[in-house]
Amino acid sequence: MSDTLLAAETTVRDIAAKLPGAAEIFRNSEISFCCGGDLSLKQAAEKAGLDLAALTSRLQDLIDRAGRSAPQETPDLIRHILDRYHAAHREELDFLIQLANRVETVHGDQEEAPLGLTETMIALRDELENHMNMEEQILFPAILNGAGAHLAEPIRIMNEDHADATALLHRIEHLTNGLSLPIGACGSWTALYTGLHKLCDDVVAHIALEETVLFPRAVAV
């Protein structure tokens, strides 16, 4: 993970998208990385009345930890990505789409209702499904076969997909007002945002693990 990610002028939107766990710190600090996402870390810290050095240090801890627990051997790392992220996304998305549809249908007249969330989540599911199938059927087998020199183009395409998925996460963040529940939210609404919280954090961690550990390792072979 690049240390320049925490340069004072990097936007909080970029940090939340690229650094696993940063979104959680921003949510708990009431820093919006959706509508206020164009603010630099320095500006966002000032706006939230936080000490920039302390905030940077918490984020730096995340960078230091990122990837440290990932398996060292490439076949084990790929198996970890498949079990921990690909399988988990598939397991969670259909259920969350049903929940989103229920919340939009039942509470659509409330001011805080996340109108358009179901459609956005269907787009995320389709994007991830197509992307994960390509990794599973083409890219990961090629990495395991040691095709390092020929992987630049497929990896470039995978990184483009990652950017598309990240844009959909921003949209979810926006539609749900940073996943903040209205007072008196029902059980379905609460379960939906709890599940989305985990899913969105998982997608960021999944992408970071591939872009900062697996892909650089694969092309270096």
Whether the CA torsion 181, 173, 188, 110 is positive or negative: it is: positive
Residues near 83 by Cβ (< 8 Å), separated by ≥ 6?
Answer: none
Choice between 173 and 210, CB closer to Fe ion: 210
CB atoms within 10 A of CB 30: 14
- Select 156 or 182, whichever has its Cβ closest to Fe ion: 156
User: Least CB distance from residue 39 to Fe ion, whole Å?
Assistant: 28
What is the smallest separation between the CB atom of 85 and Fe ion, expressed in angstroms?
6
Distance CA 115, CA 105 (A): 9
Whole-number Å distance between alpha carbons of 4 and 6: 5
CB of 158 to Fe ion, least distance (A): 5
Min dist. Cβ of residue 81 to Fe ion (A): 5
> Which residue, 135 or 173, is less far from Fe ion as judged by CB?
135
Instruction: State in angstroms the smallest separation of the CB of 25 from Fe ion.
Output: 24
Pick between residue 31 and residue 143 the one whose CB is nearest to Fe ion.
143
Measured from the CB atom, the residue of 186 and 205 that comes closer to Fe ion is: 205
Shortest approach of Fe ion to residue 14 CB, angstroms? 18
Question: If DSSP states are collapsed to H, E and C, what string results for 169-213?
Answer: HHHHHHHCCCCCCCCCCCHHHHHHHHHHHHHHHHHHHHHHHHHHH
Q: What is the DSSP letter of 72?
A: S
Comparing CB distances to Fe ion, the nearer of 133 and 190 is 133
Which residues of the shown chain bind Fe ion in the complex (CB under 5 A)?
Answer: 135, 210
| Closest-CA residue to 169 (of 123, 130, 115) | 123
What six digits make up the tokens of 113?
Answer: 């209702």
